[in-house]
């Protein structure tokens, strides 16, 4: 069983700040919290990312996952839940995950 952290703001942060500094700051903050858990506990925690869906409005679907994933995988976790159903090019995203 895994508890999922909702990290919708990860993708949105790249829309607000194309440099990626805001995303890196979010990653650092989350890692400070995650580091309070031991390795066994961290295995029971995951992170969910998607383009958002507030009021049926995907606020960051125009942000390419491949810009997000390298930084996202710096989180001190092993479970990542990445919403792909609305992605135009799922194969591209899956290849990025594979790397």
Q: Interior CA angle at 11 toward 17 and 8, to 5°?
A: 125
Total domains present in the chain:
1
**pLDDT value at residue 2:** 80
Contact by Cβ (8 Å): 24, 11: no
SS3 category, 36: coil
Q: What's the whole-number average pLDDT of the chain?
A: 87
Task: Kindly state the average pLDDT of the residues 1-27.
Answer: 91
Domain span at residue 65 reads 3-98
Question: To which residue do tokens 């790249």 refer?
Answer: 14
- What is d(CA 71, CA 59) in angstroms, rounded to the nearest whole number? 20
What's the pTM value of the predicted model, to 2 decimals? 0.83
């Amino acid at each position: 069983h895994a508890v999922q952290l909702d990290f919708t703001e990860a993708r949105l942060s790249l829309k607000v700040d194309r440099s990626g500094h805001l995303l890196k700051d979010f990653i650092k903050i989350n890692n400070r919290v995650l580091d309070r858990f031991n390795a066994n506990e961290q295995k029971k925690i995951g992170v969910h990312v998607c383009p958002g869906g507030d009021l049926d409005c995907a606020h960051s679907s125009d942000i390419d996952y491949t810009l997000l994933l390298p930084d996202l995988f710096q989180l001190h976790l092993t479970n990542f839940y990445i919403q792909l159903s609305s992605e135009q090019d799922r194969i591209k995203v899956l290849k990025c995950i594979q790397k």
